[in-house]
Amino acid sequence: MKKIICETYEEMSAVAAFTIAVQVQVKADSVIGFATGSTPLGTYKKLRELYASKFVSFSAITAFNLDEYYPIKRDNPQSYYYFMWENLFRHVDIKPPQINIPDGSAVDPEMECADYDAKLMAAGGTDLQILGIGNNGHIGFNEPNEKLELMTNLVKLAPDTIEANSRFFDNISDVPAQAITMGMGGIFNSKHILLLINGEGKAEITKKIFDGTVTATVPASLLNLHPNVTVIMDKQAAGLICD
Ligand code: GLP
C-alpha cells in the first residue's frame, strides 16, 4: 500500500480531494465509491470548493456509497443518505439518478443488498473507492469477524461501533443495531482504493494495518492484498508506524 503522510488534516483532505478530482478529470464518467463518517468531511469540503472554482464537474460520474444504517429513513439527519446530500451532493452537479446509496428503509433488506450488488456489477465496480476506517479496523460496516462477507449484506453492528457512532446521536439507544454494507468483494472490485485516516485515536489501528500481517479480525488489513491502495494519513494517525 502506498503511504502519504500529511502534516495536517487540511492537507490530507486536500490531497484526497485532488486525487478524486483528477480521477474525474481524466475519466468524466468515473464510478466513485463514497464513504461517510467524520474522516472524509474535509475532503468533501475541498471537493465542493474545487467544484465551485470550476476545477472539476461531477455531471457524468456515478456514485456508490459504501453503507447505510438499517433501519433508517432517508430524511433522518443521521442517515448516510442525508450526510452525502448535506456534505457533497446538493452542492455539486452530480445527476441524482446516478447516485446509489443502500436504502435503509427497504422492506426487504436482502433484496436491497442483491439489487445493490447487481447495480455495482453492472457499473463495472468503482474506479476509485474512498474509505475511512473504524477504530476496530472495520471498512464500510465490515466488522471484525472470523469470516467476512464478499457481497453487500445486512450486518449487526459491533458494540464498539455502536458506541463510537453514538456521538452523532442523542442517545446510544437511537443508533440502529444493523446496517447494509458493501461487502469486501464490492470494495475490492475497485481499480484504486483511497483509505483516509486521521487523528491520534486511529494510530493503534493504523499500526495494525501496517504490521505485515492480514487478518479478518482487522478487516482493513486485507487491503494489503489489493494491488492499488493509497493510504492518506495525517501525522497523528501515522504516529506509530515507520515512514
Ligand atoms: C462508520 C462508517 C465507516 C467509517 C467509520 C469511521 O462506522 N461505516 O465507513 O469509515 O465509521 O468513522 P469516522 O471517520 O467518523 O472515524
Over residues 40-61, the pLDDT tens digits come to 999 999 999 999 999 999 999 9
CA–CA gap between residue 240 and residue 232 (Å, rounded): 15
Tell me, what's the pLDDT at 38? 96
- Compute, in angstroms, the gap from residue 8 CA to the centroid of ligand 1: 19
Q: State the maximum Cα–Cα separation within the chain, in Å, rounded to a whole number.
A: 48
Q: What are 126's strand-pairing partners?
A: 190
**How far apart, in Å, are the Cα atoms of 223 and each of 12, 90, 138?**
20, 31, 11
Catalytic (active site) residue 7: no
The three-state secondary structure class of 137 is coil
Is the CB of 38 within 6 Å of ligand 1? yes
- Compute, in angstroms, the gap from residue 160 CA to the centroid of ligand 1: 12
Tell me, what's the pLDDT at 142? 97
CB atoms within 10 A of CB 166: 14
In the predicted structure, residue 243 carries a pLDDT above the cut 70: no
User: Which ligand 1 atom is the nearest neighbour of the CA of 36?
Assistant: 9
Is the CB of 65 within 6 Å of ligand 1? no
- Compute, in angstroms, the gap from residue 161 CA to the centroid of ligand 1: 9
The answer to whether the beta carbons of residues 80 and 68 sit under 8 Å apart is yes
User: Which ligand 1 atom is the nearest neighbour of the CA of 39?
Assistant: 14
CA–CA gap between residue 40 and residue 197 (Å, rounded): 9
> How deeply is 102 buried, as exposed, middle or buried, from its count of CB atoms within 10 A (0-12, 13-18, 19+)?
buried
Q: Taking residues 3-31, what's their average pLDDT? A: 98
The three-state secondary structure class of 3 is strand
Is the CB of 176 within 6 Å of ligand 1? no
Tell me, what's the pLDDT at 151? 98
Q: What is the pTM of this model?
A: 0.97
Q: Taking residues 183-190, what's their average pLDDT? A: 98
The three-state secondary structure class of 149 is coil
Report the nearest-CA residue for atom 10 of ligand 1.
132
Cell of 220: 482493513
> How deeply is 103 buried, as exposed, middle or buried, from its count of CB atoms within 10 A (0-12, 13-18, 19+)?
buried
In the predicted structure, residue 223 carries a pLDDT above the cut 80: yes
Catalytic (active site) residue 136: yes
Tell me, what's the pLDDT at 242? 78
Of 76, 136, 224, 226, which one is the catalytic site residue?
136
Of 103, 112, 117, 143, which one is the catalytic site residue?
143
Tell me, what's the pLDDT at 33? 98
pLDDT band at 226 (very low <50, low <70, confident <90, very high): very high
- Compute, in angstroms, the gap from residue 37 CA to the centroid of ligand 1: 4
Enumerate the H helices of the chain as residue ranges: 9-26, 41-52, 80-87, 109-122, 159-165, 184-188, 203-209
- Compute, in angstroms, the gap from residue 30 CA to the centroid of ligand 1: 23
